A = this chain, B = another copy of it.
Amino acid sequence: MSSRLKDVAARAGVSVRTVSNVVSGSAPVAPETRRRVQEVIDELGYRPNLAARSLRAGRTGIIGLAIPELHSPYFGELAGLLVDGAQRRSWTVVIDQTRGDADAERRLLVPGGGRMVDGLIISPWALDPAELAATEPAVPLVLLGERSPHGAADHVAVDNVAAADEATSHLIGLGHRRIAAIGLQPHLHNGTARLRAEGYRRALDRAGLPHEPAAQRSTAALHRADGARTMAELLDGPSAPDAVFAFSDELALGALHVAHQRGLRVPEDIAIVGFDDIEDGRYSHPALTTIAPDKQQIAERSLQCLADRVYSPGNTVPPQQLVVPHRLIRRGTT
Residues of chain A at the chain B interface (Cβ within 8 Å): 2, 45-52, 54-55, 60, 62, 69-73, 76-77, 79-81, 83-84, 87, 92-97, 111-112, 114-116, 136, 138, 223-224, 228, 253-254, 256-257, 260, 279-280, 282-285, 287
* Residue pair A283, B55 in contact (C-beta under 8 Å): no
Cross-interface CB contact of A283 among B50, B79, B224, cutoff 8 Å: B224
Q: What are 10 A-B contacts with C-beta separation under 8 Å?
A: A54-B54, A60-B116, A70-B77, A71-B79, A92-B96, A92-B116, A223-B279, A224-B282, A280-B280, A284-B285
* Residue pair A70, B79 in contact (C-beta under 8 Å): yes
* Residue pair A87, B80 in contact (C-beta under 8 Å): no
Copies of this chain present in the complex amount to 2
Task: Quote the shortest CB–CB distance from A34 to chain B (angstroms).
Answer: 17
User: In the assembly, what is the distance between CA of A76 and CA of B72, in Å?
Assistant: 8
User: In the assembly, what is the distance between CA of A224 and CA of B287, in Å?
Assistant: 13
Task: Quote the shortest CB–CB distance from A309 to chain B (angstroms).
Answer: 13
User: In the assembly, what is the distance between CA of A280 and CA of B145, in Å?
Assistant: 24
* Residue pair B84, A97 in contact (C-beta under 8 Å): yes
Complex contacts, A51 vs chain B, CB 8 Å = 51, 54-55, 60, 116
Q: Which 7 A-B pairs have the closest CB atoms?
A: A76-B76, A70-B80, A51-B54, A50-B116, A71-B80, A71-B77, A47-B111
